[in-house]
Amino acid sequence: MEVSKETLKAIAQEFHGIEISDDELDIVLPEVRGYVSAMRSLDDLDLSDVMSARLLKVKEGDES
């Protein structure tokens, strides 16, 4: 999915963000597209053998 100016405007509006002009969007849009491209490169990353850092850690001997 290609990120467009309209998409960014809709996101800003949905999250009650700041109003942004078309000139400002021209500056921001390439950065957002680069970020999305970088995130897509992670789609093929195999993390099946990596332990999640979000797992709860319990102290040994803790009764809770």
Establish if 37 belongs to a structural domain.
Answer: yes
Establish if 10 belongs to a structural domain.
Answer: yes
- Expressed as residue numbers, the domain containing 30 is 5-41
What does the chain come to in residues? 64
Q: What average pLDDT does this structure show over 42-62?
A: 79
Establish if 46 belongs to a structural domain.
Answer: no
DSSP per residue over 6-47, as a string?
Answer: HHHHHHHHHTT-----HHHHHHHHHHHHHHHHHHHHTTT---
Please count the structural domains in the chain: 1
pLDDT digits (tens, 9 = 90+) for 1-49: 689 999 999 999 999 988 889 999 999 999 999 999 999 989 889 988 8
Establish if 57 belongs to a structural domain.
Answer: no
Establish if 15 belongs to a structural domain.
Answer: yes
pTM over 0.85: no
